[in-house]
Each structure stands twice: as structure tokens, then as C-alpha cells.
Structure 1
Amino acid sequence: MDLLDQPHHDGSTTYVGNPTPAPGDLVTVRARTGAHDPVVKAWVRTTTDAEPIFLECTRTEGSDTGDGATWWQTQVPMHNPTMNYRFLLLGEDGSQRWLTGAGTFEHDVPDAFDFTLTWHEPAPEWSRAGVVYQIFPDRFARSTQTEERETPGWATPAAWDDEVVFEGSDPRTPLQFFGGDLDGITEHLDHIERVGADIVYTTPVFPGESNHRYNASTFEGVDPLLGGDEAYARLAHAVHERGWHILGDLTTNHTGDTHEWFQRSAADPDDPHRDWYFFNPDGSYATWMGHHTLPKLNHANEGLRAAFTDGPDSVVGRWLQQPFSLDGWRIDVANMTGRLGAQDINHEVARRVRRTVADLNPEGLVLGEHNHDATGDVPGDGWHGIMNYSGFSWPVWEWLRADDSAARSFGTPVPIAQRTGPQVVASMRQWLGSYGWRTFCSSWNILGSHDSARIRTIAGSAERHRVAAALQFTLPGVPMIFAGDEIGLEGVLGEDSRRPMPWSEAADWDTVTLDFYGALAALRREHPALRDGSLRWAHVSDDALAFVREHPSGDVLVAVRRGAGPAYRLGVDVREVLLADGHPTPSPGPLQVPAGDGPGVLVLSLA
């Protein structure tokens, strides 16, 4: 059976009548089956109060489309805050199959892959439609004010063109100080516009005795080394003047050991801040991953909640107000927040953060860092979405990894695996099924970050890098670009990837790739299918992938190769070639994807 003939349903508006239902609503859900797939009946199985019920589907009027597909629909009642459902398909030969978020199965599978509907508020539209640009302030750009600031005593000063010290055992790694600041970012917003981004996300700006500042010493002000509160306000104002959005980075899991709260509590066992952390009777304390400089916060303490997460005067709330008016937070170590041994209040913390943000800015975003399975942390009223390493980054890395890549794996004791197209698509479909359509589309598609290897080092060539970027911008999810990816910066792991932006060496930039990012961002803005369309896989082979994003305004097909490969035919008609990079372009009419002699990208609008 052609892949486009396979049974299909997802959470897009093509298949779900109301993706943002209210309690008690009846939500129309539709599934399509192919012309050569003799389904005679279909049901939706959902659960109310955890009890399964079956709702018979009807074959809708005018369900025979031009390609001979049949549509089946019924209504799911929003009885619980989150409703899970799947389709049961009965063949004319009596065969039975389950259609789930992870694909079609001929055997019973856990509910973990069921489609979901939730009545909780979705992530704001701007966050799902935008393109995120991540900046590590110390390494992005120096303003003229930088020279006037005295290097702090904890720091090891570095010239802008010095090599980054990135071996974890080297004590200089977190102390190497290049001196980038917030006014430097403001002065380079035109570059971010050229990339096509409209959401500026910086790693932490609070003072901390490190170049990364994840060990905050206070949340009351911006690090003077970055220009202080005034520079942050200038940046936020400049971003908002362009109609863009700006996100802060907040560590809810821990502070630094120089933080004023921790200093007081460590000095006095009777200090009211003592229970804001996890002190043992002998004076030792819980930390993030054994690092004594990162004491862990106790969110079960009412005083900490009042100071940190709850209300307009909390840390979460204060920075969403004038003069900064942040549009939300990326939450560092979101997966560990509120978890220690038998204590697990992670979802309560997420809910509190989200409530405070929503009260101050109903269009605010709360997105959690997560680098493995976040399924239990995003059930509707927790984080709006996640940094989607598992469902996007790892599969793309594994498909495009060069044989001789020096990139190191992220958190694993072995090199990056190499996978085939079918393995990669199977992985993506399972993660999509597990997270659900809404969460997946609200999460960030990441090719690299300040914590990981660079995609150019992983892929090993500009051509494969651009294939990865095409997937980043055209698959469901929000593209997040780590500053420097667009010009081909390299790095074998997180610290090495934090190389300063080489502004004085612009003549050596990979401007072909830079312009490619801008073209992809423009396509994503122009074609709703690439932001909100459904996802149907059309072709999957070891070295080539193709998929269709469907939308009432027009369908878009994306075909990518990681290497040379033969031609193949798809049952769709081409209207226009939107973008081609290293890939022969087909003629209008029935689609024959041409053979290619190397990596390539082809984006087409369909008739």
C-alpha cells in the first residue's frame, strides 16, 4: 500500500473540528482511509473516567475525495480535562486494526499512543507560529560599554577570538569570560531578522559566578556585567518594537551557592530560608547532579512558593511586568524541578508557574527543558511544550550523522547512533503519539543548543546541515536556532558549541546556509500548512524521506535526501516548486521525485 493510502488522523484542524474545546463540548474527529484500503466500519474508542467506550463513526457526506479516500467521523465528549482516543477499523475481511498517534497496529497497544484532546489553554499562537533564536549572552556580541566594565574576580578573561576551553575537567570551562552583553544583542537584531527569527530567547541574565549564569546569586536584578536592568529593558523594548517576543531563562530547580537565600540559610540553621533548600542534619544539602555550587530548591515550602512562583511579586511574575515585559519563560531543568527521592510535585510547580504567567500575560509562554521522555510532564496544564530533543533532535541527528563526525553524544556513553529512514520515522511517530499533537506542535525543534554538539559538526557538511534545517522548519513543532548554526559554526559538545559569534569574520561565513534559513522562515510564515497542517508520510526509505503537510489553504510536500538515491513516484500533483537545494526539480503534474546524487531538499506546493 502507498504510504499516502494508509489510514490517517492527527490533531490538526483537517482532522479535529475544534482543537481547543471547552468542558462539555462535543468535538468532531475524522479519520481518512485510502482508496485501496477496504474499511467497512470504524469506531472511536475513548475513555470517560478511565472507562472505555466505543463511538460508532459515520461515513461522511461527500467523503469520496479526488484520490478515492473515505472519511469517517464521530464526536468525542469533553468529559474529562484530557480525553484520549483511538480508532478501531474493521476490514471487509473481518480484520481489525487500531489507528493511534503512533500509527496503525494490528495488535493491542498501550493507551500511551492514543490521540488526545484537552480543554486546557493551548500555547499562545505567536509561540507556535514563530521562530526562536537562542543566545548565550557571554558569547554573542560585545557592545561598546563592555570595555568600561571591570572583569570580575571569579572570571578568566578571554579575547573574542580565543579558543573556548571545553573539557569538563578543566576548571576554566565555566569561568572563561568573553564579555558579551545585552546591548550587544540589541545592536545585532538586524542579523536575527535576516535569519528569519522573531522570538529572542537568551540563557540566564541574572548574576552568577560563571559564564553560563545558571548558578544565580540573586533574581532581583540583571547582571551588571551584561549591562544591568537598563540594558535588559532596552533589549526587551527593541524586540517588542519589531513586533517580536522575548523569553527569559529561569532555573526553578536550584540556585547558586552564592545566592542570597542560600547564604543566609547556610549560615544560620534557624533562618526562615533554611527549608527553601534540602539541608541534612550534618549541614550537607541536596544539589543538582552532585554539583555543590547548585543547591536544590524545595518547592514544598510555602515561603519559597510565595517568593519564587506565586503571584505578581514572585520571581516568575516580576520580570513579566514593566519595564521588561518578558513574554514568558524557558524553564531550566524542568524535568527535575520539584523532584527529589519520594517527593514529586513537578506538575504542581509547572501549574503554579503557568498560572502566574497567565495572570500577568494571558498570551505568555512557559516551556520546559527536557532531554528525554516528558510524557508525564505535559498533560495539559503543565508546561506548554518542551525542548523536543527526544522527538526531533535525536532522530534527525541519527539520520544525518556523518560517518566521520567528531560530535559527541548528548548524555550517553556511546557515540551518536546511525539510523535508517524507517527507524527515524518510527521514532518520530512514537514520540508524536506519546506527547500528543498539541504538545508536539508547541515544542521546539532543536538541531543543537548551548548544551549539545552543533548540527554542522554532526552532519559533517553544509549540504546535510541544510537538510536538517529543512526538517526543522517543515515538520510539526517550532524551529529553535542556536545562534551561529545559521553560519555553520561547529562544536563537538555543549561547551565547545559556545564559541563566540565571529562578527569580524563575516567574509568566512557560510552565507548560502544563512540565506537558506531565511528562506525557510519565509516559507513557514507564508504557508499555513508548514505551521498548522497535518502530517502524512509519503515516502520513507533508508536515505530519503517525503511527507505532506495538509491545510485548507493549500498542501505542501517536503522531500529530503541524505545522500544519492533513485527516483520515486508519489500519487500527488505538483503546482509549484517553492524551494530546492541540491535536489533536481520535478516537472509540474504527477510527481516523479527525481534521482539525486547527494543530499538535497525539495519543497513543493501541491495542486
Structure 2
Amino acid sequence: MTLRIAEPTGVVLAAQPHHDAGPSFLLDPPRALGDAATLRVFQPAAYPVSAIALRAVIDGEISTASLEAVETTATGTWWETRLTAANPVVPYRFCIVGAPDETHDVPSYAWLTAAGLLPWDVSDATDFRLVVHESAPTWVDDAIVYQVFPDRFARSAGAPCDEQGRALPPAGVDLPAWAVPMAWDDEPAVRGDLTGAQFFGGDLDGIAERLDHIASLGADTVYLTPVFPGGSVHRYDASTFECVDALLGGDEALARLSTALHARGMRLVLDLTTNHTGATHEWFVRAQADADSPEAGFYLFREHPHDYVSWLDVPSLPKLDHRSDAVRERLVRGHDSIVARYLAAPIAADGWRIDVANMTGRHADTDLALDVARDIRATMREVEASTGRPAWLVAEHGHDATRDLDGDAWHGTMNYTGFTRPLWAWLAAEDSELNWLGLPMSLPRLPGDAIAQTLRGYNAQMPYSSQLHSMNQLASHDTPRTRTVVGTAARQIVAVGALATLPGVPTVFAGDELGAEGLTGEHARTPMPWDAIEQEDGSRIDLDVLDATRRLLGARREDAALRRGGLRWLHLSPELLVFARTHPQGDTVVCLARDAVSHDDAPSQGGGADGTLELDLACLPGVRAVRERLAIGGVSAQISGTTARIRAQGPGVLLLRAER
């Protein structure tokens, strides 16, 4: 059975009225209560209307207003209205009152929401949102992140090893009891206790020595998984937050790395676990030793000292109790907190990724997750007041994070649900045996028009600013590798195309750009093959994927529409997705092809009998000409005026520039 998703209105996407929260359609976004913004809707000439109305929710009640037609051209009409930010978050949508005639079969009644145009009544969940809460730092709008698992990225020039090349600790540092020394070319374990014990000897100075490679990808921000001492190589079981692990080079090495990054105009994001510590953490040791100690109130003891709540019932990860003001003051609140200390000199980090943010402060009938996030945001503002450097706050969340992203808490999330999983489901290898979400099944392989419903519908449930400031990742230290998921270099390049062009902060897990493989998150923590990179050894690394990553992320770096623009879907079919990133400086049209498009695939959204998709990009307001920006793989376009005839003969990425 082939799943097909029809447009509910029966009108092709390119002919539908459009609004998004990008700078072409939302003018003068509010910064404080009482500010008014101009909202614009573009109505293509192929969709006649008699009226367009605004519906907003203010102080809990519906408020309506009619839009005014302010400019009409041969291709369509601009409509406008003003909306005042009477509340910190104001949901709004538009009622499109259609005027069908003999040549235009359009619905007489439809709602335009962030999820698209729907000819029936809908809930408020996917309304656009006017938000006055302080947004993420402006540098995040342009950021490209490179994620590093420190033990596996690079050994510094002076890092010691034994005769077999197995890692040794730095001079004067004892090898921890958990550590099993490995040679750099050894393969990480797939699962089991060994995954947390394999010590490859990567360090922070090694990262500083390899910044040229990171910068060559277009990345300008390095995100490090935890650097605190712990009971394993992943360090999410911290034994203290007071210092950087000596195995990685200690505080001085982290300060050197930060200085090296900032000297290049790059930034540093660190990783903090606010949900739990390790069982060897100094706080937990004191808590178990003395039931009357302040630290005993930091944890959730059922019966002191050995019966306590832990992360997913893993006893080595005791859960913190954020009802305790004392633990929040030490960890997240104020100038003396751990959060503040590493944002200030000499480390001067530029942000925090919060591990297990979705569970932080949540247990039984207690839910303080957003209170903790607001504490961190307040601390960041305090530090910014003294340093002049705003910081980014990203929440780890593995499923639906939308209810945590509507206010003044997290700036964004790791967008597994709204980016990673739909892309996996579209591009998955046909014979994949990877498990899907812990369910009794392997990865599904879904058509493009199906996964687009997730890309549209899920992300519509958060403010657009939260989507823009969330990490988009194809893989991370917690997942299989992108190449293992998609199976081929060609499909991996399509995945990178999505990473570089969809709204959100592109985040590359170190080694993905080389076509690295890995069956599990642990197995994916592959040491970087520096000799192969330096020798450009195509037998060990995928040079095509590396080149495509540089070209696609480079295109994003040069294009304001890809970094900061709104989003308009233009075509959805099983093998081909086409969308525009809208921006006043000009729109960029993105075509992503999973495979060749047949005549059965294209016609549903305006295609031809030979599988060619014909799009008149005059549907994008003000467009006078179209030119090709970048093409990789099997997708191409013939351009005549504003019309592009798009043909996919295999997996590929095509970028077109719509010029005004």
C-alpha cells in the first residue's frame, strides 16, 4: 500500500494564501507588551477571496479584525492588519473567505494556521504566535553547530599512549577505575557496560588543534558533551561540577579552547545535567552520609540512605529535587551557581545544552521544569549584564517539547520530533533493521508527503522563534549514525540538504560529515580518523559527503533566507519535497529528492506526465527572475522566466534563488 496525503483544500500549495512568522510576513515583531506588529497575508490570484479576517486570542477571549488589501499585482494581493501584543503570547490565525467561481474551485471557508490551510474548524494548538518574551541571542540565528564527544574527537599533540597506541592519562593524573584504555583506531562497543568504559584519550587541547576542520564545514559553534569528571567516559554521571575532568586537560584546557574559539569569532556551548548527578558526586556522597546535611535535601530519598529516586531507575544516576532552593542556588540560580561560573571568565561559554531537560524538576505531582529553566535564563541575564555576552539555552527533549517552548524558559530544544525522526522516516534504508523508538518494529520508510505532515504539524505547535533556535540534528551521541540510518551517500547528502535549509540551527555530530557509521548511540561515538582526513583517503571516509556538507552549509552561511527566513511549502509528494525560505532580501526555493520522481508521483501537486514538476515561482510575491543557486545529485531544473521545470532522476538537492 502506498500512503498518499491529499491537500485538504484541493488547491495546490503554490496557489494557497500564505503567512509565516518570518520577516517578509511579520513586520515590526513586538519586544514588549503593548507593541503592535504588522501581519501580512499574500493571496495568489489563483485563489480568489471576498475577505480575510484575523482571529486572535487576547486575555483568554477571541478578538477579530478584517484585513485590508493594500497592494495588488498580476500574481496576487497583499493583505495587512495590525495586532497588539496584549499578552506575552498571543495566538492568532486567519479566516480565508473564498470566492469560488467557474475557473477557481476554492473553499468558501478555511483557516490559515501555522500548520497550513484547512477548510474546517481547528483547535488553537497550531495557531501562529506573537511572542514578546526575550528571544535567543541574535548570533543563534546564524549559528551552525558542531557537536563534539571529547574523548573521541582528537588527542592533542602531547597526549600519552602506550606501545600499542592505547590511551594513557596525562602526567600526574591517575587512570580512573572505570577506564579501559583503547587505541585510537579501535571500534567502539555497540552496547553493554564496556560502552561507558572505553577510554580513547581525546582531550580539549586536541579539539583546539583541529578547529580548522570544524571551520571548514561552515560551523561557528562547538557544542561539547559533558566535561566534568564522572564515573564513565560519557560523563553524564558527574562526580563534581566544580572542575573540568583532568583527563580532558582540566579547567586550563577548557579556557584555552574557549579562547581559541573566540579568537576565530566562534562560540562554545557546554552540557549540564540538571536532572541528576552521578552516585559518586560529592553532593550525593554527603547526602548519603548525613541525613541532616543540606545535600540530603538535594535528592529524592524514599528511605535514607539507599532507597532513592534515580533517572529511569538507574541507581548510579540519583535524581535532584528542585523543590530545594539550596540545590537550585548551587546549580542554576545566581552569580555563584554552576551555570554562571562557566559562562563567566575564564571559561566564558556562550550557552548551555541541558541534559534530560524534559525530566528536570518533574516527579510524581511535582513539575518545576519551567521554573528551573527560568532560573537559568535569569542567571544568564545576570551574567550578560556584567560581561555583555548573551547566552543560548537549549533543552534536550526526545519527544513532544512544544508545551515547554511557549514562554520565557528554554530558547529551543534538540528537535528530534520535529526534524530528526521525520527525516529518518523519509530517507531510511529500505532494508534497515534499526529499531524505531523502542517499538516492536524497525525504521518505517514513509513517503515525503506523510513526513511533511510532521514537519508542518508538529513544528506549528511552537512559536517560530523556538523552532528557529532549536538544534536540528540528523544524528547525535545518543543515536545511530545518519549513514547507518539512510544507507547510501546519495541519501545522506539529501539529509544534509534538509539540515542546511529547514528552519532551526544545523547541528553536525563530529564524523557525520565523513559518512561515519554506528548502530547505536554508543557505537556511533567513533574516533575521528585524522590521518584519513589529512590524506583525503576516500577508502576510509566519504569525500562526496564531506564536500556536499561543506557546500550546503556554506550556502546557508551565505543566505539570509536559509538562516532567518520564514517557511512556505510548495510541493509534497512521496519522493520530492519543495519549499521556500521567505525573506525580504529574496526567497530561496529548496528541492529535496529522495529518489527519481515518476509520472505517478508528480501530478498530485502540479506535475507533468514525465515526472517533471512545473512550478511558476511567481506564486512567491514580487519574484521577477529565478536562477539556480546549487545542485547536487540527481535533481535539476530548466528555468524560463519565473517558471522552473524540476526533474528528479535520483536523490539530490537543488537550491533556486527567487529574485525580486
| Pairwise same-fold verdict (TM > 0.5) | yes
Superposition pairs of residues 528-539 of structure 1, within 5 angstroms: 528-539=560-571
State the shift of 1:193 in Å: 0.8
1:288 to 311, 314, 318: 311
Aligned to 1:445: 472
1:481 to 505, 508, 522: 508
- Residues 639 and 645, structure 2, Cα contact 8 Å, conserved in 1: no
Aligned to 1:605: 657
Q: Give SS of 1:89's match.
A: strand
Provide the TM-score with structure 1 as the length reference. 0.97
1:282 and 1:193 mapped to 2: Cα distance? 50
2:568 and 2:73 mapped to 1: Cα distance? 16
2:378 to 355, 368, 371: 355
State the shift of 1:21 in Å: 2.7
Aligned to 1:581: 632
* Structure 2 residue 482 is matched with structure 1 residue 472: no
1:218 corresponds to which letter in structure 2? T
- Residues 153 and 207, structure 2, Cα contact 8 Å, conserved in 1: yes
Report runs of 4+ in structure 1 exceeding 4 Å deviation: none
2:560 and 2:193 mapped to 1: Cα distance? 48
Aligned to 1:596: 648
Q: Give SS of 1:123's match.
A: coil
Deviates more, 1:566-575 or 1:533-542: 566-575
- Residues 17 and 27, structure 1, Cα contact 8 Å, conserved in 2: yes
- Residues 58 and 72, structure 1, Cα contact 8 Å, conserved in 2: yes
1:151 corresponds to which letter in structure 2? L
Q: Give SS of 2:636's match.
A: coil
1:303 and 1:539 mapped to 2: Cα distance? 54
State the shift of 1:282 in Å: 4.9
Residues 1:584 and 1:368: Cα distance change in structure 2 (over 3 Å) = closer
Q: Give SS of 1:583's match.
A: strand
Once the two structures are superposed, residues 41-77 of structure 1 have per-residue CA deviations (whole angstroms, 9 ceiling, x without a partner) of 11111111111111221111x2x235x2222221111
Aligned to 2:391: 364
* Structure 2 residue 594 is matched with structure 1 residue 562: yes
Deviates more, 1:443-452 or 1:89-98: 89-98
1:115 corresponds to which letter in structure 2? F
Q: Give SS of 1:261's match.
A: helix
State the shift of 1:145 in Å: 3.6
Residues 1:411 and 1:163: Cα distance change in structure 2 (over 3 Å) = same
2:138 and 2:441 mapped to 1: Cα distance? 39
Once the two structures are superposed, residues 488-509 of structure 1 have per-residue CA deviations (whole angstroms, 9 ceiling, x without a partner) of 0011221111111111233122
Q: Give SS of 1:292's match.
A: coil
1:480 and 1:227 mapped to 2: Cα distance? 25
1:334 to 319, 338, 357: 357
1:141 to 154, 174, 178: 154
Structure 1 gaps, min length 5:
none
Deviates more, 1:568-577 or 1:197-206: 568-577
Superposition pairs of residues 226-265 of structure 1, within 5 angstroms: 226-265=248-287
- Residues 46 and 83, structure 1, Cα contact 8 Å, conserved in 2: yes
2:452 and 2:636 mapped to 1: Cα distance? 24
Superposition pairs of residues 44-123 of structure 1, within 5 angstroms: 44-60=54-70, 62=71, 64-66=72-74, 68-92=75-99, 95-123=108-136
Aligned to 1:315: 338
- Residues 30 and 36, structure 2, Cα contact 8 Å, conserved in 1: no
- Residues 21 and 27, structure 1, Cα contact 8 Å, conserved in 2: no
1:602 corresponds to which letter in structure 2? L
Q: Give SS of 2:91's match.
A: strand
2:188 corresponds to which letter in structure 1? V
2:643 and 2:276 mapped to 1: Cα distance? 54
- Residues 636 and 648, structure 2, Cα contact 8 Å, conserved in 1: no
State the shift of 1:95 in Å: 2.3
* Structure 2 residue 347 is matched with structure 1 residue 324: yes
Q: Give SS of 1:133's match.
A: strand
1:389 corresponds to which letter in structure 2? Y
Aligned to 2:202: 180
Residues 1:593 and 1:407: Cα distance change in structure 2 (over 3 Å) = farther
Once the two structures are superposed, residues 483-538 of structure 1 have per-residue CA deviations (whole angstroms, 9 ceiling, x without a partner) of 00001001122111111111123312212211211111221121111111221111
1:51 corresponds to which letter in structure 2? E
Q: Give SS of 1:52's match.
A: strand
Work out the percentage of aligned pairs sharing the same amino acid. 45
State the shift of 1:411 in Å: 4.2
1:408 and 1:281 mapped to 2: Cα distance? 37
1:234 and 1:198 mapped to 2: Cα distance? 17
2:408 and 2:576 mapped to 1: Cα distance? 37
Deviates more, 1:147-156 or 1:530-539: 147-156
Residues 1:596 and 1:86: Cα distance change in structure 2 (over 3 Å) = closer
State the shift of 1:234 in Å: 0.5
Aligned length: 602
State the shift of 1:595 in Å: 2.9
